[in-house]
Amino acid sequence: MPTSEPLTPDSAEPLYKQLAARLAAEISNGSLPAGSKIPSEVQLMSAYGVSRITVRQATQLLARNGQVTSHRGKGTFVTRAGLQQDLGTLQGFQEALRSQGVEPQTELLEFSSFSGRLDPSLPEGLNFPVRLRRRYSLDETPFAVVEAYLPLEAAALGEARAQQLPVYDIVQQYMGLRISRADVAIKCARPSAQVAKELGLTARTNILVMERTSFSTTGQPCEYMRINIVPERYTFRISVPGPLEIARALTPADAARTKQKS
pLDDT value at residue 26: 87
Neighbours of 27 (CB within 10 A): 19
Pair 17, 60: CB distance under 8 Å:
no
Bridge-based pairing of strands 207-216 and 221-229 is antiparallel
- Vertex 118, ends 213 and 204: CA angle to 5°? 70
CB distance 100 to 110 below 8 Å: no
> DSSP E strands: which ranges in the chain?
68-71, 75-78, 83-86, 105-113, 130-138, 141-150, 179-189, 207-216, 221-229, 234-237
Q: Per residue in 135-154, pLDDT tens? A: 988 777 888 999 999 999 99
- Output DSSP code: residue 185: E
Three-state DSSP class for residue 150: strand
Is 137:108 a contact under the CB 8 Å cutoff? Answer: no
Q: Give the pLDDT mean for 175-184.
A: 92
- Concatenated DSSP letters for 18-37? HHHHHHHHHHHTTSS-TTPB
Q: Quick one: angle between helices 52-64 and 41-48, nearest 10?
A: 110
Greater model confidence, 254 or 57 = 57
The residue among 50, 55, 56 whose CA lies nearest residue 7 is 50
Residue 108 above 90 pLDDT? yes
Report the Cα–Cα distance between both ends of the chain, in Å, rounded. 59
Q: What is the DSSP string of 201-220?
A: --TT--EEEEEEEEEETTS-
In this prediction, residue 27 carries a pLDDT of 83
Residue 73 has pLDDT above 90, yes or no: no
For residues 88-104, average pLDDT = 70
Count of CB atoms within 10 A of residue 206's CB?
Answer: 12
pLDDT at 194 over 50: yes
- Residue 231 Cα to chain centre, angstroms: 5
Paired sense of beta strands 234-237 and 68-71, if any: unpaired
